Structure 1
Amino acid sequence: MSRDRPRLSLLEAALLLCIVGIALAVFSPTFVRQVRTNKILEASELLQELNDRTAAYYGTSWDGGYRRCLPPGAGPTPTEPTVEPEDVDFFAPTTEGHETWKALGFQPERAIRYSYRYMLSESGCGLGGDGKDAPITFRAEGDLDGDGVRSRFERQARPNLDGTLQPIGELHVHQRVE
């Protein structure tokens, strides 16, 4: 006894292959673009978070009767960026600048690809207001494809007497996707 199984004709198989090919042609570039965008968004989102946390620290900190304090610089954390996301403990005693990261409360809740830095020329209290203070720079560097060429994202701010950080320009991006 043989069963008659429905089989695809050559025309039906070609049509099916054509439909699958069209679907891949339409959705693959969109998927790749979305993955790349997701990789890039990490840096801008976390730099904004670092800026916000620094502004909150600056606006609410006191030491020895002085207001408007900023902790010393920190990073790069991790020392080298990675192609694949990795969990990094910014508060670990072995992490360069862990005291600063802890003071700012900056600890990404997800695995990261980029290396983060918080840079300023002057730390301490009583900062801001004369317009001459050097800017605070928040930087993220990444090597998304492992070729040794790094993308860099930077955001800057300047301390004000009113306890706020004044943004300087917009997010600066160098070699966004390398």
Structure 2
Amino acid sequence: MKSSERFLIVDDDSTFAQVMQRALVRRGFEVDAFNASEPAIQAVQDNHYSKAIIDLKIAQESGLTLIKNLKTIQADLEIIMLTGYSSIPTAVEAIKLGALNYLCKPVDIDEILLAFSTSQIQEEISLPENPISLDRLEWEHIQKTLQDNNGNVSATARLLGMHRRTLQRKLQKRPVNN
């Protein structure tokens, strides 16, 4: 990898983005980091980046949408997607939209650089050793849907296709650890 390459980092966790930025700068790369999609899109319109590291969830925005927008602006941009919530459907979607790879957090800069240097897209998406349990995944999906509906239990139950009382019982339970 050439040190003249320019990286774009988009992650709403400013501490994580700064750590990645410093690690890349130490290796001789130019790096711009953003905490939201809009300034990142503007930066890609104004500058040429060779590589991008995009988080799946950027505050209330989707990194998948950002990949699509960035690829529209600069088709040759190489993108790695990072996530703390790995799932096969989002991994497949990220690859379809043009990401080279999909990595699960925590991840270090060496793993990210290795993912960029891999010339072939991996046949199998690497998932963490302890994948999230189905119960935990259901809990997180319910919570996200509830948040998207501004806490409206009835609307959330309709979207999830379950009875409102069933949803209320599930919400009363504590989240599953893993």
Q: TM-score, normalised by structure 1?
A: 0.23
> Comparing both structures, which one devotes a greater share of its residues to strand?
1
Q: Larger relative contact order (C-alpha < 8 A, sep ≥ 6)?
A: 1
Structure that is richer in helix per residue: 2
What TM-score do the two structures reach when normalised by structure 2?
0.23
> Greater Rg, structure 1 or structure 2?
1
